[in-house]
Amino acid sequence: MVNEERLPRHVAVVMDGNGRWAKKNGKNKLFGHEAGLKAMKAIVKRSSDLGIQYLTVYAFSTENWKRSKAEVSGIFHLLLKYLNLELDELHENNIVFKVIGDYKALPKNVVRALDHSFEKTKNNTGLQFIVAFNYGSRAEIVMAAQRLAREAENGTIEADAITESDFCERLYTSDIPDPDLVIRTSGEERLSNFLLWQAAYSEFVFTDVLWPDFSPEEYDRCLEIYGSRERRFGGR
Ligand code: FPP
């Protein structure tokens, strides 16, 4: 049973294993991503039902552009399909939809659909569902450094006085607390350029389950593991 007293405020998920799942089932990769999307919907619902405040999922990294054209455009289409079919339901469930990443560099129709989704859900007060899309943590850190450098150059900030919180305020996640729990599926145990700064004190739970098979029950198991951990944040 999930201990509702010891739930993470923010869960971040590396949804890994769609390709292997597809192969195992004799299908192409996009079929795996489609099944991954279904699994994601169930985890959004479970998070919202449990009263988790923030859920961030890694859907498309800056490195994913290296994949085949068909796979990249297939993932963009899945995102569009998801927004077309699910935005009303997200809104009815009081969910705020956000993206972290350089989304403005995506095709125009994707940018329009995303902007519309942010606008529609921005005043909701339930779960904040954050999709990392065209996201890379190192690029995000460089962007924050460039912003601060520009401000130091034009005299609106003093270089020696820059603090960690000044830095945080210039990341995509400026209005999002650090993740308490990072889950990665498919047996891989890496961060892969996801929330490098933000995950400094996160708990990690790794599961061998491939993302399309990641069920609300498996999610609950990860939350139980988190609930049983003692967090010290570098103290004793
Ligand atoms: C990793 O699996 C998964 C991705 C790169 C894409 C994740 C996308 C989804 C879950 C669906 C789309 C979601 C949205 C919001 C549009 P992999 O292909 O790297 O798996 P493998 O390591 O087994 O090959």
Tokens 């400026």 belong to which residue? 174
Q: Which two tokens stand for residue 144?
A: 């924050």
Would you say the CB of residue 18 lies under 6 angstroms from ligand 1? yes
Cross-strand bridge partners of residue 98: 130
- What percent of the chain lies above the pLDDT cut of 70? 100
Cross-strand bridge partners of residue 204: 182
DSSP code at position 178:
P
- The whole-angstrom separation of Cα 81 and Cα 177 is 29
Q: Which two tokens stand for residue 187?
A: 């047996």
How far away, in angstroms, is 218 Cα from ligand 1 center? 18
How far away, in angstroms, is 35 Cα from ligand 1 center? 9
Residue 152 has pLDDT above 80, yes or no: yes
Residue 5 has pLDDT above 70, yes or no: yes
Tokens 């599961």 belong to which residue? 207
Would you say the CB of residue 39 lies under 6 angstroms from ligand 1? no
Instruction: Out of 28-42, 176-190, 221-235, pick the least confident.
Output: 221-235
> What backbone phi and psi angles, to 5 degrees, belong to 47?
-65, -45
| The pLDDT value given to residue 230 | 82
Beta strands in 151-233 (DSSP E): 181-184, 203-206
Would you say the CB of residue 59 lies under 6 angstroms from ligand 1? yes
For residues 40-50, give the mean pLDDT: 98
How far away, in angstroms, is 187 Cα from ligand 1 center? 14
Nearest CA to ligand 1 atom 12: 37
| The pLDDT value given to residue 118 | 98
| The pLDDT value given to residue 231 | 75
Cβ partners under 8 Å of residue 104, min gap 6: 111
Whether the Cβ atoms of residue 129 and residue 93 lie closer than 8 Å to each other: no
How far away, in angstroms, is 74 Cα from ligand 1 center? 11
Would you say the CB of residue 193 lies under 6 angstroms from ligand 1? no
Q: Spell 138-159 as b/e; 16+ CB within 10 A means b.
A: ebbeeebeebbeebeeeeebee
Residue 235 has pLDDT above 90, yes or no: no
Nearest CA to ligand 1 atom 4: 59
Instruction: Out of 69-73, 202-206, 229-233, pick the least confident.
Output: 229-233
Atom of ligand 1 at shortest distance to CA of 79? 16
Q: Is 25 assigned a catalytic role?
A: no
Would you say the CB of residue 101 lies under 6 angstroms from ligand 1? no
Q: Is 64 assigned a catalytic role?
A: yes
Higher pLDDT, 102 or 1: 102
> 54-61 and 96-100 as β-strands: parallel, antiparallel, unpaired?
unpaired
Mean pLDDT score of the chain: 97
Domain 4-136+179-225 annotated CATH 3.40.50.720 = no
- What percent of the chain lies above the pLDDT cut of 90? 95
| The pLDDT value given to residue 236 | 67
Instruction: Out of 3-7, 21-25, 218-222, pick the least confident.
Output: 3-7
Would you say the CB of residue 40 lies under 6 angstroms from ligand 1? yes
Q: Which two tokens stand for residue 236?
A: 């004793």
How far away, in angstroms, is 20 Cα from ligand 1 center? 10
Pick the catalytic residue from 28, 64, 124, 193.
Answer: 64
Whether the Cβ atoms of residue 114 and residue 103 lie closer than 8 Å to each other: yes
pLDDT tens track for 80-127: 999 999 999 999 999 999 999 999 999 999 999 999 999 999 999 999
Would you say the CB of residue 20 lies under 6 angstroms from ligand 1? yes
Domain positions in the chain: 4-136+179-225
The closest of 16, 21, 42 to 31, measured between CA atoms, is: 21
